[in-house]
Amino acid sequence: MIDRYSRPAMKWVWSEKTKYDIWLKVELAVCEAWANQGAILQASMARIRKASYSMAEVEEAFAETKHDVTAFLRSVQKNVGPDSRFIHLGLTSSDILDNALNLQLLQATDILAEDLDLLTKVVTTRALEHKHTLIMARTHGVHAEPTTFGMKLLVWVEELKRSAERLQQARKQIAVGKVSGAVGSHATVPPKVEELACKRLGLAVAPASTQIIQRDRYAQFITTLALIGASLEKFATEIRALQRTEIHEVEEPFSEGQTGSSAMPHKRNPELSERVCGLARLLRGYSVTGLENVALWHERDISHSSAERIIIPDSCYALDYMLDLFTHIMQGLRVFAPRMQKNLEASKGLVFSQRILLALIEKGMTRQDAYKVVQKAAMATWESDGSFKDLLRKDKVITKHLPGKQLDDLFDYRYYTKYVDEVFTRAGL
């Protein structure tokens, strides 16, 4: 991932040093398990526990071996001496790589969970702030009926909560380890050693494994991140749409000295929200690769490995950045309530058409007859300079059922906010 989209904590998780530190941690955990079973003397373990590696030595060895685990073990062996023969005892590379990857993923997931929690709190605050701020709801991009901006954001809050649940479910799937040797047969590593090592690492044991931990677990993880990214894209797309000049009901933060265009000084573009949308596409692409990594030949091939070196860290980087960026957007989002009110009135009262329809039905008209008479007035409103209410007043069928004040009383925006508090309470806010 490029530095621009990499935050420090996530960079640390996926750094080479962190990776090798965890590799060593895994190797030592397995040695402790062997020692528990009497295969390694405590005197040897005392020296093994002091094991270290040199990044320079690993790089030098890799230039020759072209195998990262072999290169790493060569450096460790140099630093431990004769007792290093017990390190990697009975193991295959994936016993180290997959366990270490999962430990990194758990750290990354915890960062993402914190990001999600902060964003949820920020959106919740903005939802409560605008609980009763009227805004035009649109279907197909066309004026439908009024809602509140708070209700829009409440939908986002609930979606973010579901995202947090999905992330924890995905975390559970990758919080597993395997120490089962080549092809996963346990021929060289007893299940008891696997259990002890995984317990020391804080991982559950994958009940059955081949030479690798099965890739459906990682596919679930990456698709979960892509789904969270899709939700962020949905939210960001709404902001982009509402920031259009013709609507201009909200505006993402625009700092002093910032420029929106090299050619047009007046531009204030929703470029942060557009960035969120662009990165969501990246995550979707990675999720496809994650799914394609599930099917490997027999007990394992290595076709997944090269792809995972990119898609797993980058998915974590991207979502971490997106969550932080969208939190910034929501914290600084400008909300133009007067413009929302102006846009409400732009369709000349047509938004009350369903209220008129329901009132006529209550007065005894059939739904079909009521719909026809209301639709006739509504279509005429689109083509005229007059208001919907004025045209309704000219229709004798309507005024017969809804005379004078009865008709006027239906044109009241408060109708659309009467249950907002109840909905927020049901959502626990």
- Catalytic residue positions? 140, 261
- Cβ atoms of 344 and 134 within 8 Å: the answer is yes
DSSP code of residue 395: -
Distance CA(115)–CA(113), nearest Å, equals 5
Find the angle CA(348)-CA(234)-CA(148) to the nearest 5 degrees: 40
Distance CA(135)–CA(129), nearest Å, equals 14
Neighbours of 163 (CB within 10 A): 24
Scored b (16 or more CB within 10 A) or e, 388-401 reads: bbebbbebebbeeb
- Residue 311: partners with Cβ closer than 8 Å, 6 or more residues away: 222, 286, 289, 290
User: DSSP states of 1-48 as a string?
Assistant: --GGG--HHHHHHTSHHHHHHHHHHHHHHHHHHHHHTTSS-HHHHHHH
H helical segments located in 345-383: 353-362, 367-383
In the three-class reduction of DSSP (H, G, I as helix; E, B as strand; rest coil), residue 147 is classed as: strand
Distance CA(332)–CA(110), nearest Å, equals 25
- Residue 117: partners with Cβ closer than 8 Å, 6 or more residues away: 164
CA 202, distance to chain mean position in Å, is 25
Q: Residue 184: what are its φ and ψ, rounded to 5°? A: 75, 20
- Cβ atoms of 377 and 392 within 8 Å: the answer is yes
User: DSSP states of 228-260 as a string?
Assistant: HHHHHHHHHHHHHHHTSTTT-SEE----TT--S
- Cβ atoms of 178 and 209 within 8 Å: the answer is yes
Q: Residue 301 corresponds to which tokens in the numbers above?
A: 């091939």
